[in-house]
Amino acid sequence: MKIIGTIATTQEVFFLRTPVDRILFLSLLFSGLLIIGRTLHTGSLTFAFLTWNLFLAYIPYAITNWLQYKSGLKLRSFKGTAVFIGWLLFIPNSFYILTDLFHLGSGDGAPLWYDLALILSCAWNGLLLGLVSVRQMEKFLQASFDRTNEWVFIFPVMFLNALGVYIGRYLRFNSWDVITNPFGLIADMYFMITHPIRNVNGWAMIICFSLFLSIIYVTAKEVSKAFK
């Protein structure tokens, strides 16, 4: 009974506490079943990496979900600042899955429509986790400061997300490379900054995705009001 109680408590704390948690869990479960179904049908692990990507996408959501129940924690504190920096390092992983659409058509043994549904469902979950997490962090910042302009928060965060997506997709760095390979990351970023013309495609992608993600976020906030 004690074990069952511990499992129930863990579920309540991490992913089944609110209606949003429960619907996100069901959506993630659907993606997981699609990945398992494809693996069993084809005998190939071609898209098994999406499981790891979904896990990474969940981390920033778990961080901000935890923050919702830490009313005394403020950004101005050392702990609050550390949590915010950690969140910034992981939040690009949520939106990174959108670029996994590049892999459509690269697998074999499964119908193209199935792979489309599989990758879209994972991308959708990553996007949802990212949007909700950003909204939760926005509320955390609003509680830490008396007045915060929406765009002062949104565009810089979405710019960093787009930068993180570019770094992950094209420069092939991960969130933990900030600690394990900081000099390699700094060297590549220095090259991008000091040679903007030679990296014009990269900066164009980053700016485009910054605007795109900002529009999606603001649109989602406004559209959600229509369902209340």
pLDDT in tens, 97-151: 999 999 998 878 899 999 999 999 999 999 999 999 999 999 888 877 766 677 7
DSSP state of 16: S
Other C-beta atoms lying within 10 Å of the C-beta of residue 97: 24
Please give the model's pTM, rounded to 2 decimal places.
0.88
Give the residue carrying structure tokens 């997300």.
161
> SS3 of 197, please?
coil
pLDDT in tens, 162-205: 999 999 999 999 888 988 999 999 999 999 999 999 999 999 99
Structure tokens at 178: 């900030």
pLDDT in tens, 36-93: 999 999 999 999 999 999 999 999 999 999 888 876 777 778 888 899 999 999 999 9
User: Which one-letter amino acid corresponds to residue 90?
Assistant: F
How far from chain centre, in Å, is Cα 196? 27
